[in-house]
Amino acid sequence: MFNPPGPSQHPASLTNLTNPDVFGRITLTNPTESSLTAKLKFTRVVCGDERKYQCIVLGLSNGVPSNIKSVTNLIVKANPDISSFGEVNVVPATNIAEGQTVQFTCSSNVGLPAGTFLWTKYRGVSDSVGSTVSSTTQTYPSTDCTYTGSSSINMAMTKDNDGIILRCTILQQVITDHTNIYHRQTKPINVFYKPYTPTMTKIPYSAIYDVDDDVTLTCGAAGNPLPTFAWWFNGTQVGSTAQLQLSNIYIDQSGLYVCEATNYFAGNSYSVSDEIDVTINAWNGACTTKSVGMILFCTKLLLFYGILRGLMEML
């Protein structure tokens, strides 16, 4: 109850309360000669304060009792209580392989009115933009007037998902502080995947090489875990790294070289292979072959080459 200004004005007081919980949380200010406004101020708002409030002014009009009424609604809003905002739940949490479906779940108090969750996928720690992942949020009342929310997304894992980060952010109209306290994110997701068809090159590149040339064969293949490599020539392993160095080549090294890339995960081995051709000029290489059986042929070839060259010079 508020009292009119004047020498006998009594302090404002609480009477006929339908919400006794307001004790200790409101202050009352009587009207004054300079301000004919009565004030009720909440120093701390709680959920139960959301209701209608009516102000009645009692007085005399031409000697007749009268009253003026005014009603207002108090709407209570609340920031999300992030004390309940745990880490993103990932199932399965480990040994994720290409082809598996992984579920990511986020839950927290989402305040009042009820907020929602926004999921963002980042391609790695260097991706500062990310892309939005379609999702829905389920909400239900908490023990007070606020709401608790939960959101889950299911993602089929591919090799392109290796290293991604999923972030879950609370969106709610009361939030004014948009720092990272309102989001949680996963660590980079490790996705195992088998090697893909190798990329093979010859350095320097040539369709045909001469004897005593140097050639480096390279084999590149992506996989997680990183693949190991094996080089094969005529059924014999000739290398065990991504590069195979052929120095001072000779005619017997002409042919197809096979690169095999292998990795292991979840108790299984996965391999892929491809081949690359190295052709060595047989004319230039015949006399430098390491095959003993070619010595006689080599001698005759050199003799024939000498005679042919002499005839050409005579012409």
CB 115 within 8 A of CB 78: no
pLDDT at 313 over 80: no
What is the rounded distance in angstroms from the CA atom of residue 138 to the CA atom of residue 136? 7
Joined tokens for residue 148: 């608790």
What is the rounded distance in angstroms from the CA atom of residue 50 to the CA atom of residue 67? 25
The pLDDT tens digits for 101-112 are: 999 999 999 999
What value does the mean pLDDT take over residues 62-91?
Answer: 90
What value does the mean pLDDT take over residues 209-225?
Answer: 97
Q: How many residues does the chain have?
A: 315
Q: Parallel, antiparallel, or unpaired: how do β-strands 191-192 and 96-97 relate? A: parallel
The pLDDT tens digits for 148-179 are: 999 999 999 999 999 999 999 999 988 887 77
What is the rounded distance in angstroms from the CA atom of residue 304 to the CA atom of residue 312? 12
DSSP 244-300: EEE-S--GGG-EEEEEEEEEEETTEEEEEEEEEEE-B-HHHHGGG-S-GGGHHHHHH
Q: Which of 130-139, 170-179, 274-283 has the lowest mean pLDDT?
A: 170-179
Q: Domains of the chain: which residue ranges?
A: 20-73, 82-191, 199-305
Candidates 187, 209, 158; CA nearest to 89 is 187
Q: Between the CA atoms of 134, 140, 146 and 150, what dihedral angle is there, to the nearest 10 degrees? A: -40
Is 199-305 a domain of CATH 3.40.50.620?
Answer: no
Task: Give pLDDT, residue 302.
Answer: 47
The pLDDT tens digits for 257-276 are: 999 999 999 999 999 999 99
pLDDT at 76 over 50: yes
The residues pairing with 231 across neighbouring beta strands, listed in sequence order, are 239, 259
What value does the mean pLDDT take over residues 181-189?
Answer: 95
Candidates 71, 28, 73, 27; CA nearest to 50 is 73
Helix, strand, or coil here: 202? strand
May I ask the CATH architecture of the domain 82-191? Sandwich (2.60)
pLDDT at 298 over 50: yes
- pLDDT bucket at 305, cuts 50 / 70 / 90: very low
The percentage of residues in the chain with a pLDDT greater than 90, rounded to a whole number, is 62
Candidates 274, 275, 270; CA nearest to 197 is 274
What is the rounded distance in angstroms from the CA atom of residue 239 to the CA atom of residue 278? 15
